[in-house]
């Protein structure tokens, strides 16, 4: 039996469905399919035609809870707290990730002892850092780590427990900080509420028992892929590789097969170049 479940939530969004093909294709071409299952929780209105993927229809929280109707990012937190996610405990490891990512040929060997997170870039301003620290103090959380990312791999039962706390913190943060306040980026901003909540939950749940590295690698890096680059994220950037340029068709002239695929950005071009 495969010991890793790579999990994501796919909303009924054409753009997201196209980007999901990056994850699917990289799961295949990296050899990750041999040691992991790709488990896709998805909006019931989405049909996934890939027969080698485990698909689980799940009504998104944005549709069942009115207070979240304008915040679609909550769905990627909620899905691992639903009853449908309990079957994931049959796997030793679960990785929670977004759909706009690329697994590398190094991913099949990733079996971390400690919970391993990627990095985010949502807490860059003094205002955001100070507000996060203020909330942490109020909640009795020691803010050891900052900019904890959304991607996580750990033992399956730990991931599910953590996600439940993450969702609890999302609800608490919405009520206490953003019920009548939106803010603006890059300050204290409702648009990244789930990331703030994840940062607080990771510090509360794991304390110092977590690690970073090899996940959410920058898609615009022109460095050669090293053996600890496991997972690349399509960041919000106009540098190459840029998902915005890809959607605009600005890479249609590239022969992605001819690129040096050991370069991180080129690897993304290669995977994405075939998925339309």
Distance from CA of residue 255 to its chain's centroid?
A: 28
DSSP 37: E
Each residue of 134-175: pLDDT tens digit?
Answer: 999 999 999 999 999 999 999 999 999 999 999 999 999 999
d(CA 53, CA 76): 18
H helix and E strand count, the chain: 8, 10
List per-block mean pLDDT (blocks of 10 residues) for the chain, which spans 276 residues: 96 96 97 98 95 97 97 97 97 98 98 96 93 98 95 98 98 97 95 98 97 96 97 95 94 88 96 71
Tell me how crowded residue 29 is: count the other CB atoms within 10 A of its CB: 18
Q: Reduced to 3 states, what is the DSSP secondary structure of residue 39?
A: strand
pLDDT of residue 81: 98
Percent over 70 (pLDDT), the chain: 99
d(CA 220, CA 263): 10
What one-character-per-residue DSSP string does 44-104 give? Answer: TT-----TTSEEEE---HHHH-GGGTT-GGGHHHHGGGSGGGGGGGGSSEEEE--SSEEE-
DSSP 92: S
Q: Reduced to 3 states, what is the DSSP secondary structure of residue 46?
A: coil
pLDDT of residue 274: 54
Task: Confirm if 207 and 109 have CB atoms less than 8 A apart.
Answer: no
Domains in the chain, CATH or no CATH each: 4-273 (3.90.550)
What's the burial of 257, exposed, middle or buried (CB within 10 Å: 0-12/13-18/19+)?
Answer: exposed
- C-alpha to C-alpha distances, 157 to 80, 113, 209, nearest whole angstrom: 11, 14, 15
Ramachandran category for residue 7: left, alpha or beta (phi over 0 → left; psi -120 to 50 → alpha): beta
Stated pTM of the model: 0.95
Query: 91: which residues sit within 8 A by CB, 6+ positions away?
Result: 2, 3, 4, 5, 37, 156
């Amino acid at each position: 039996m495969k010991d890793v479940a790579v999990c994501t939530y796919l909303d009924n969004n054409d753009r997201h469905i196209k980007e999901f093909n990056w994850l699917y294709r990289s799961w295949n071409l990296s050899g990750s399919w041999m040691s992991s299952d790709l488990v896709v929780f998805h909006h019931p209105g989405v049909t996934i035609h890939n027969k080698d993927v485990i698909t689980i229809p799940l009504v998104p929280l944005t549709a069942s809870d009115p207070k979240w109707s304008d915040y679609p990012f909550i769905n990627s937190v909620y899905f691992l707290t639903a009853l449908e996610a309990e079957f994931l405990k049959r796997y030793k490891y679960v990785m929670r990730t977004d759909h706009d990512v690329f697994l590398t040929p190094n991913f099949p060997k990733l079996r971390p002892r400690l919970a391993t997170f990627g990095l985010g870039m949502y807490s860059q301003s003094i205002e955001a850092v100070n507000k996060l620290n203020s909330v942490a103090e109020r909640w009795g959380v020691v803010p050891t780590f900052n900019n904890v990312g959304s991607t996580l791999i750990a033992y399956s039962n730990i991931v599910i427990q953590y996600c439940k706390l993450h969702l609890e913190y999302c609800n608490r943060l919405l009520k206490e900080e953003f019920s009548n306040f939106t803010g603006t980026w890059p300050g204290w901003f409702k648009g990244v509420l789930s990331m703030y909540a994840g940062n607080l939950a990771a510090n509360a749940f794991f304390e110092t028992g977590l690690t970073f590295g090899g996940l959410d690698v920058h898609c615009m890096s022109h460095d050669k892929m090293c053996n600890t680059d496991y997972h690349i994220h399509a960041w919000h950037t106009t540098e190459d590789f840029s998902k915005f340029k890809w959607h605009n068709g600005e890479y249609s002239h590239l022969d992605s097969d001819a690129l040096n695929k050991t370069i991180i950005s080129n690897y993304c071009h290669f995977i994405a170049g075939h998925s339309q």
